[in-house]
Structure 1
Amino acid sequence: MTRPQIYLFGDSITEESFDVGGWGASLANHFSRTADVVLRGYSGYNTRWALKVLDRVFPESQGRDGGTETAPIALTVFFGANDACLPNRCSAYQHVPLHEYKENIRSTVSFFKKRWPTAKVILITPPPIDEYARLRYPFENNPEGLPERTNEAAGEYAKACIAVATECHIPFIDLWTKMQQFPDWKKVYL
């Protein structure tokens, strides 16, 4: 009997989710006796790049007995932090316009629903951005000294993610809103 699987698909937030105390590690611990949590996180990726690798990351395969593969019970899709980079700043190469981001998320959901109709697809919004911390500890060479991401832009992508989830009648986790509801969220979560 094959153990049920849960796939985590996303950018570096997903890739690093198995670090000590990470959300992926917590899921794996929670489901340790009942399901395998499978990591498919790609640092730096946006939805445009994710679409290009979907078939390779999630190939159609045959089961051991020649039958079809077992569908995962659930998948998370967690993109948007890189898509929301500002188009005229140092991380512009990662930027995806909002309308394209929405279409890319729709296409990703459609891919999974066609591949595994019984799997529950869950969208996760991009998290909020602490602009001050990003300037203080930049990931890119930033000669202008301007934030390459803003919380406002991340919020627009979060709203777009929620809109797609609503259109597709699938669940979502509004991380952007939930994290900011906690006092000192910048110190606690980012």
Structure 2
Amino acid sequence: MRPQIVLFGDSITEQSFRSGSWGASLADTYSRKADVLVRGYGGYNTRWALFLLHHLFPIECSPTILIVLITPPPIDEEGRKQYAKSVYGDKAMELPERTNEMAGVYARQCVELAKDLGICSIDIWYKMQETEGWQKKFLSDGLHLTPEGNAVVYQEVVRVFNDAQLSAEEMPYDFPHHSKIDGKNPEKAFKQQCV
């Protein structure tokens, strides 16, 4: 069975399969080696993340699964206000909004939880803020990722996969390359692949 990379998350994860985004880039990198699937659950909800982690992927029952927690990105509060005003007009000021401070609290909790459970984590919240001008460089509406922001997430995910010996370059193809298939005896190439 072909390995699977399953991306669980909110709207940032759901958007990861847009052209040039981090999920689409993973699918391209692992093409013919692993299936990359997205399962978004919407919203910015710690309870959902914990439910998924504890009930869908109990660590003690799944030693062959690599679980990686990715923190939320930082929040460009001014960018969020501008976006909300462009969408909701004057009602935008009445809407509750996320803050970078609270995103940081959530990010630290993700990293600590990963340490407690002995699983990998990627602190995108911290990583992105290392770059000057991160607000506009990495975030399109103060929250969702630009192509540059998607590149940061992709690079960090690939780094963790490589560290876990899951490098796409080292994984076998699930089917032989077409140049290895003899049109008169195609079974031979497939038998070699299975050995």
Q: Kindly state the Cα deviation for residue 45 of structure 1 after the two structures are TM-superposed.
A: 5.3
Report the 3-state secondary structure (helix = DSSP H, G, I; strand = E; otherwise coil) of the residue aligned with 1:137.
Answer: helix
User: 8 Å contact 1:4–1:35 — kept in the other structure?
Assistant: yes
Question: Deviations 1:121-175 (Å, cap 9, x if unpaired)?
Answer: 1000111000001000016642447x61111110011000000000001010000
Q: Give the equivalent residue in structure 2 for 1:99.
A: none
Deviation readout 1:53-109 (Å, 9 max, x if unpaired): xxxxxxxxxxxxxxxxxxxxxxxxxx5xxxxxxxxxxxxxxxxxxxxxxxx3xx533
Question: Which residue is 1:134 aligned to?
Answer: 80
* Contact map agreement 1:3 1:34 (CA 8 A) in 2: yes
SS in 2 for 1:119: coil
One-letter identity of the residue aligned with 1:177? Y
Deviation for aligned residue 1:186? 1.2
Alignment partner of 2:67: what SS?
Answer: strand
Name the CA distance, whole Å, in 1 between partners of 2:94 and 2:54: 40
Larger Rg: 2
What's the counterpart of residue 164 of structure 1?
113
Contact in 2 for aligned 1:14/1:42 (Cα 8 Å): no
The aligned residue for residue 38 of structure 1 is 37
**What is the identity percentage for the equivalent residue pairs of Structure 1 and Structure 2?**
53
Q: Using the alignment, how far apart are the partners of 2:93 and 2:136 within structure 1?
A: 26
- Residue 98 of structure 2 corresponds to residue 149 of structure 1: yes
Unaligned runs of 5+ in 1: 51-78, 80-103
The 1-side partners of 2:44 and 2:134 are apart by 25
Partner Cα separation in structure 2 for residue 155 and residue 15 of structure 1: 21
CA–CA separation in structure 1 for the residues paired with 2:102 and 2:76? 12
**Could you tell me how far apart the structure 2 residues matched to 1:126 and 1:36 are?**
24
What amino acid maps onto 2:30 in structure 1?
Answer: F
Residue of structure 2 equivalent to 1:27: 26
Conserved 8 A contact 1:158-1:176: yes
Residue in structure 1 matched with residue 190 of structure 2 by the alignment: none
Q: How does 1:86-165 map to 2 (within 5 A)?
A: 104=50, 107-111=51-55, 112=57, 113=59, 116-138=62-84, 141-144=91-94, 148-165=97-114
Distance in 2, Cα, partners of 1:183 & 1:47: 29
Aligned residues: 133
TM-score of the superposition, structure 2-length normalised? 0.62
The alignment's TM-score, normalised by the length of structure 1, stands at: 0.64
Q: How far, CA to CA, are the matches of 1:19 and 1:5 in structure 2?
A: 19
Shift of 1:37: 0.4
The secondary structure found in structure 2 opposite 1:142 is helix
Stretches of structure 2 that go unaligned for 5 or more consecutive residues are 140-195
In 1: Cα distance, 2:113 partner to 2:75 partner: 21
Partner letter of residue 152 of structure 1?
Answer: E
| TM-superposed deviation, 1:185 | 1.0
Q: 1:125 to 1:45 in 2, by over 3 A?
A: closer
* More helix per residue: 2
